[in-house]
Structures are given as structure tokens and as C-alpha cells.
Structure 1
Amino acid sequence: MGTSWSAQVVDPPAGCLTAIEAVLARIIEQMSNWEPDSVISRFNRLTVGEWMPIPDEMRTVLAAGLEMARLSSGAFDPAIGRLVDQWGFGPGTQSVSETIPAPWTRIEIDGWRARRLADVTLDFSGIAKGFAVDAVATELRALGVVHFLVEIGGELRGDGIRPDFQPWWVDVEAPPDLIVPTLRVALCDLAIATSGDYRRFRLADESRLSHSIDPATGAPIAQGVASVTVLHEQTMMADAWATAITVMGPDKGMKLATRHDLAARLVLRTSAGAQEYMTPRLAAMLA
């Protein structure tokens, strides 16, 4: 996945590390665009219109991604792979001759098979890390583990409590060049994900190009949104919502988050430094 992972496990059973590594290897084998023989890479090379059976886990992520695309009016789009490559954030370097409106609508699922209806490609970079955290958590519970904190690339899930009977306290990473209040949360059967423009970006003509692509314009989002943090029962959904809100921006994004009763925070770059937005749900949790 191009990132690191960690797990703090209270009273880990024998074989715990091996079990976690097996889960991550399985997800990479299915959903990594950087592995040419992964399921997603093979799917993206299929002839348009050809059906392909997909594994249960990949089907879960694809279905969730398509539902998130519907909820966000396409701000989150799991079929944005061509644009990701075009702007230098994917494994490919190809140009896009024609931007296809709403790429996600060109993906069709029928049971446990899927196909492309146009020359679009899947990219799960805005949702797969969150799913992987959930999958590791599920595996730990199956091994009988009750208390743990799992992190992949800054997306976290905490269950139970620490050995000192404290909750899993997490300080949300702030954009390194901005001064914002520290957001500290207790992850007790809860997940958190943050999307930020300071993690992955490219400089072009002295401008910062965010890795977050707006499917509506086919280009990186306008500079301004520094970070979005979302708390959710599922890390996969926290990950996807953070991506969608980042693309939508402070007005549309936070209104949608409020409408869906999400606990979310957005940090916006301004001429004066930074402006913080917070949904009523998150404000109530911190009160």
C-alpha cells in the first residue's frame, strides 16, 4: 500500500503477527494498483464490457466505494484511476485523452462479478487502507483479542482499552505548517481517518498539487483544504468520507457530513493561517 502499519495488541496470542501479515498480503494481492498481477490490476486491463469474478473482500470495497460515490455525488469515485495516473500519483504515467464524466457510473456489479462499461480504471487509494484496518481488527477478534490499536498509513481503529486501563488516546496529526488546536480522541470501538494535502503532493510551477483529485474537473483539488478528519464505526467508511469531504470542500463537504451526522473536522488554509470547521456531532463528542 506504499505505507507503514503498526498494531498494539494486549496479550497477543501465538501467531498473531503472522495472521496480521497474511491479512495485509491478501488485501494487497487483491487491491494494489502497484502490483501488476493483483486482482484490481487485472480487472483494469480487461476488455471493456467483459465480466470478471472478484473476491469477496474486493467486492465489499467496490460496493462501498460506489455507494460513497452516490452519497457524495461523485466527489468520492473508486473509478478515478486514469486521472490519478495522469497527475503522477499512480503507478502509470499515461495521459488521458478524454475525461469521462462520473467514472463510477461506468462500473457495474452483478453478484460477485464486475465489469467496466467504459475505459475507466479502479483505484482504491481513498478507501483500501481503511478496509485493511477493519480486516486486521476482524482477524484479531477471531483470534480472541479484545484490546488493540491498529494503524495503517494514519488510519486507526481502537478496541477495548490499554493495559493501564486508559482508552486508546490518539492525537490527530496537524498539517505541519499550520497552527491548529490539538484534536485528541479516545478510540474505544471506534475508528478515525485523516486526509491531508501535506502527505502526498507534487510541486509544479511552484504550486502544490494535491493527490486528491476532483472527478468533476479531472484535476487536483484547488489549494485550500489542508486536512479532513472523520470518526466512524468503520475505518473503511471514515477513510472514504474523509476523501469525499476533502474534495467537496468546507461548504458542501461539511454540510453533507452534518446531514449524515458524521463526526468530522476540516482545516482550511487561509491568508491568515488556518480556519477550523467542526460538525455538531464531533463538537458534542468533545464537549
Structure 2
Amino acid sequence: MGTSWSLQAVAPPAGTGGGVQAALDRVVAQMSQWQAVSDLSRFNRAPPGEWHGIPAEFAEVVAAGIDIGTASGGAFSLAMGELSEAWGFGAAGPVDTLPDFMVPSDGGIDLDRDARRIRRSKGALLDLSGIAKGYGVDLAADWLLANGVRHFLIEVGGELRGEGIRPDGHPWWVDVEVPPSWAGAGWRIALHDLSIATSGDYRRGLAVDGQHYSHSFDPRTGRPIANGVRSVTVVHRRCMMADGWATALTVLGADAAIALADEKELAACVLANGREYVSRAWREMLG
């Protein structure tokens, strides 16, 4: 996934690190766009229109991504691989000029949930970078719980999940990162059987002729977002859902993001246009 992971755990048994690494390796082997032999890469190289069977973990992530895309009115899409590559955010590496085309994908990703298989339309390349990292956190956390590790904080590339409590009886406290030069302070969140993910425009991007372009795309236009959103943080039981929803809400913009978060009962905080916007579920967490 092109990032690191860390684990704080109470009384972990021998082999815990290896078990976590194996879980994350499984995600990479299935869903990495940077590994030429991954299931995802082989699927993207295959002719469009053909059905391909996929592992259960892969299918779970695709299903969640499709559901978030539908619920957000198309603000989240799994068919963004071609755009990611053209803008220098994919496996081919950075670019120093703007791409020739800036239109949305003319295809999509179909999932046959019962048969656990997928196919892509012409022009669509599968890209799970907006959700797979969060799933990696969940898969590793599930392995830890299944192997008797009840109290831990696991982090993969800035996405976190906390289970149980620390040895001193306190919850796993984490500080929400704020964008550079942001005037306000970030939140401190207690992750007690919860996950948190943040999507921000300051982490990656493309700068051409003094203009910064976000690495977050609006699937409906095929353009990098320019809606004033600096970051979105979502707290959820599952890190996969926090990760995917943080991406979708970033695309929607502050007002629409909070309205949808309230509708879906998501705990979300949006930093945009010099202001902080929080959803009803986020405010309820404060009580």
C-alpha cells in the first residue's frame, strides 16, 4: 500500500507482528494497483466485459465501495484508475504536466455479489485506493481479535482502529491531524472499539505552473476537487467505512457532506473555507 503500519497492544502473544503483516500482505496481493501480479492489476489488464471471480475480501471491499458510491450520488467511484494514472497518482508515478483529458470515466465496475465476481466496462480501471487501506486496518484488527488480542490500537498510513483500553484504564486517544496553516486546533478522539480516517487535500497533489491540484477527484466531472475542503474526518466502527466515507464527503463539499452525514448518521468533521463543520452524530459523541 506504499505506507507503514504500527501496533500498540496489551500483552500480545508471540507472532502477533507476523500475523498483522500477513493480513496486510493479503490486502496488497488482492487490491494493490502498484503490484503487477495483484488480483486488481490482473483484472485491469484483462479485456473489458469479462466476468472475473475474486476472493471474499476483495468482494467485500468492492461491495462497500459500490454502496458508498450509490449512497453519495456518485461522489465515490471505484472506476477512477484511468484518471489516477493520467494525473500521476497511480502505479506509473508522478507527472509534471496536466493530462490531455479531464473527463469522467465512461464505464463502471459491476459486481455479482452472489457469484463473487466482477467485470469492468470499457474505459473503466478499478482503483480501491480510497477504501482498501481502511479495510487493511479492519482485516488486521479482526485477526488480532480472533487471536485473543483484545486491547490494541492499530494504524495503517494514518487510518486507525482502537479496541478495548490501554493498560492504565484509559481509552486509546488519538489526535486528528489538521491541514498545514489551519488556524484551529484538532480534535482528540477516544477510539474505544472505533475507527477513524481522514482525507485531506494537503497530503498529495499535483503542482503545475504554480497551481495546486488535489489528488481527490470528483467522479461526476473527472476533475480534481476545488470546493474549499481541506480535510474530512469520519469516525465509524469499521475503518473501511470511515475511509470510504471520508473520501466521498471530501468530494461533496462542506454543506452537502454534512447534510449527507446527518442523513446517514455518520460522525463527520469537515474543515473547509476556514471553518469547521460537524455532523449531528459527531456532536453527539461530545456528550
After superposition, the CA RMSD in angstroms is 1.7
How far residue 99 of structure 1 moved from its aligned partner, in angstroms, is 3.8
Is 2:185 the counterpart of 1:181? yes
User: In the alignment, what sits opposite 2:37?
Assistant: 37
In structure 2, relative to structure 1, the CA distance for the partners of 1:96 and 1:205 (3 Å cut) is closer
Distance between the aligned counterparts of 2:61 and 2:111, measured in 1?
Answer: 14
Structure 1 segments (4+ residues) deviating >2 Å: 92-104, 106-110
Instruction: Write the mapping of 1:9-28 to structure 2, written as runs, cut at 5 A.
Output: 9-28=9-28
In structure 2, relative to structure 1, the CA distance for the partners of 1:100 and 1:170 (3 Å cut) is closer
Task: Find the residue that maps to 2:178 and give its secondary structure.
Answer: coil
How far residue 169 of structure 1 moved from its aligned partner, in angstroms, is 0.5
Between 1:111-120 and 1:233-242, the stretch displaced more is 111-120
In structure 2, relative to structure 1, the CA distance for the partners of 1:251 and 1:225 (3 Å cut) is same
User: In the alignment, what sits opposite 1:191?
Assistant: 195
Task: Find the residue that maps to 2:24 and give its secondary structure.
Answer: helix
Q: Which residue among 239, 245, 259 is the counterpart of 2:263?
A: 259
Distance between the aligned counterparts of 2:252 and 2:104, measured in 1?
Answer: 19
Instruction: Write the mapping of 1:141-220 to structure 2, written as runs, cut at 5 A.
Output: 141-220=145-224
User: In the alignment, what sits opposite 2:4?
Assistant: 4
Is 2:279 the counterpart of 1:286? no
Task: Give TM-score, length-normalised by structure 2.
Answer: 0.94
Task: Give TM-score, length-normalised by structure 1.
Answer: 0.94
Q: Do the aligned partners of 1:78 and 1:122 also contact (CA within 8 Å) in 2? A: yes
Which ranges in structure 2 are unaligned for 5 or more consecutive residues? none
How far residue 222 of structure 1 moved from its aligned partner, in angstroms, is 0.6
Distance between the aligned counterparts of 2:92 and 2:71, measured in 1?
Answer: 29
Q: Do the aligned partners of 2:107 and 2:121 also contact (CA within 8 Å) in 1? A: no
Between 1:106-115 and 1:124-133, the stretch displaced more is 106-115
User: In the alignment, what sits opposite 1:49?
Assistant: 49
Q: Do the aligned partners of 2:59 and 2:116 also contact (CA within 8 Å) in 1? A: yes
Task: Find the residue that maps to 2:253 and give its secondary structure.
Answer: helix
How far residue 98 of structure 1 moved from its aligned partner, in angstroms, is 8.2
Q: Do the aligned partners of 2:39 and 2:54 also contact (CA within 8 Å) in 1? A: yes
Q: Which residue among 92, 108, 119 is the counterpart of 2:123?
A: 119
Task: Find the residue that maps to 1:185 and give its secondary structure.
Answer: strand
Size of the alignment, in residue pairs? 282
User: In the alignment, what sits opposite 2:234?
Assistant: 230
Distance between the aligned counterparts of 1:59 and 1:193, measured in 2?
Answer: 21
Distance between the aligned counterparts of 1:122 and 1:201, measured in 2?
Answer: 20
CA displacement 1:169-200 (0-9 Å, x = unmatched): 01101112211232011000001000001111
How far residue 107 of structure 1 moved from its aligned partner, in angstroms, is 2.5
How far residue 91 of structure 1 moved from its aligned partner, in angstroms, is 1.2
Which residue identity is paired with 2:148?
G
Is 2:112 the counterpart of 1:109? yes
Q: Do the aligned partners of 1:102 and 1:215 also contact (CA within 8 Å) in 2? A: no
Which residue identity is paired with 2:76?
F
Distance between the aligned counterparts of 1:108 and 1:278, measured in 2?
Answer: 33
In structure 2, relative to structure 1, the CA distance for the partners of 1:238 and 1:205 (3 Å cut) is same
CA displacement 1:194-241 (0-9 Å, x = unmatched): 000111112112111111011111111015111000000110000000
Which ranges in structure 1 are unaligned for 5 or more consecutive residues? none
Q: Do the aligned partners of 2:258 and 2:279 also contact (CA within 8 Å) in 1? A: yes
User: In the alignment, what sits opposite 1:240?
Assistant: 244
Q: Do the aligned partners of 1:150 and 1:157 also contact (CA within 8 Å) in 2? A: yes
Distance between the aligned counterparts of 2:208 and 2:101, measured in 1?
Answer: 21
Task: Find the residue that maps to 1:247 and give its secondary structure.
Answer: helix
Distance between the aligned counterparts of 1:189 and 1:53, measured in 2?
Answer: 33
Q: Do the aligned partners of 1:157 and 1:189 also contact (CA within 8 Å) in 2? A: yes
How far residue 166 of structure 1 moved from its aligned partner, in angstroms, is 0.6
Distance between the aligned counterparts of 1:96 and 1:122, measured in 2?
Answer: 21
Which residue identity is paired with 2:169?
F
Distance between the aligned counterparts of 1:100 and 1:216, measured in 2?
Answer: 6
How far residue 92 of structure 1 moved from its aligned partner, in angstroms, is 3.2
